Amino acid sequence: MHRSGLRTRAPRPRADPGRDPRGQGHAVGSAPLTALRDLPVDIVKLDHSFVARMAANATDATVARAVIDLGNTLGMVTMADGIERAEQFSALRAIGCVAGQGYYFSRPLTATAVERLLAECDVGGDELRLPSFKLEKAG
């Protein structure tokens, strides 16, 4: 038992090279990938947990890049959730992400405030310039 309260288990025996591995339960994640092919999906959204750790964790950065590449290759809109800093916004744009949401852009807003924000935003290159007016919070 580890301090986290999680137990480790003995490693699974390796698949016999002469056997078909499909029946051995090693296809973790295959159902969500088939959804990309079989369902009418047109947006792939990168979870905020990957966005938050992209700069500090090479695995998260690799997963983020792979998800964005896959979505773009399949002709989908690629979106990231949880963008909180300019560096995250720039890094995501650099790997081909075309849409995003998060506190970097704004806190939650009322519909009227969203209309005002969109009317006054200016996006140029990798820089987003938000208007200087005070935004009202959703209530």
Architecture of domain 32-105: 3-Layer(aba) Sandwich (3.40)
Looking at the chain, the domain(s) classified CATH 3.40.50.720 span 32-105
Residue 32 has pLDDT above 80, yes or no: no
Q: Beta partners for 129? A: 122
Beta-sheet pairing, 99-101 with 122-124: unpaired
Higher-confidence position of 73 and 20: 73
Residue 79 has pLDDT above 50, yes or no: yes
Cα separation, 110 vs 135, in Å, equals: 9
Higher-confidence position of 68 and 20: 68
Report CA torsion sign: 22, 27, 32, 34.
negative
pLDDT in tens, 105-119: 888 889 998 888 777
Cβ atoms of residues 102 and 82 within 8 Å: yes
